[in-house]
Amino acid sequence: TRQLSEEIHENVVVSVLRNGERCSIARASVSRSIVVNSGILVRPDLYETATGRVLLAFSDEDTLRGVIQGKGLPGDRWAGIETESQLRETLHKVREAGVAYETSEDEEVHALAVPVFYPDGKIAAAIGSYVPTGRFTEKMKKRILGSVVAAAGRMSYSLALLAGNQKRPESPALV
């Protein structure tokens, strides 16, 4: 996370899904004149964060059902999603894109996140960055996304190496 944060000059977070809850396991902050106060963004609800949305989008069916049963549908927490079919359609779009985006309620912060995979193709974590709106131009978004995707690929490869697999994992989001 530190390397990525230094590369893009923005805050970075890595989160995992445990028992239906999004848990941040690593964070890196930058020192700039204008930064996002990460304390303000501490929201454990996975529906409200880009990393949470990625984790849910790439989760297996049992995990998805458990989250819906435990947390209900997102409603106002995510684009007014009120039905299970709307949620599944939205999660499908996240999987297809390989990235989730989120904008804070006050529209002052933009976030994006991508998946990190185990060698078997299951989701291990989500890595993302959150940026003040003033810096989140199209050019910056593309640069950050490229760097975050590359970092996710390196993390997935590291997990594969730890598992004894020398081959880079094939992951749908890392194109």
For the segment 112-146, what is each residue's pLDDT rounded down to a tens digit?
A: 999 999 999 999 999 999 998 888 999 999 999 99
Pairing of strands 123-132, 11-18: antiparallel
Percent of the chain as helix, strand, coil, to the nearest 5: 40, 25, 35
Q: What is the pLDDT of residues 74-108, one digit of tens each?
A: 999 999 999 999 999 999 999 999 999 999 888 98
Residue 44 pLDDT level (bands cut at 50, 70, 90): low
pTM of the entire structure?
A: 0.87
Cα dist from 118 to 23, 24, 70, 167, whole Å: 18, 18, 25, 12
Question: Which pLDDT does position 174 carry in this prediction?
Answer: 44
Q: What percent of the chain has pLDDT over 70?
A: 86
Taking the C-alpha atoms of residue 124 and residue 106, their distance in angstroms, rounded to an integer, is 31
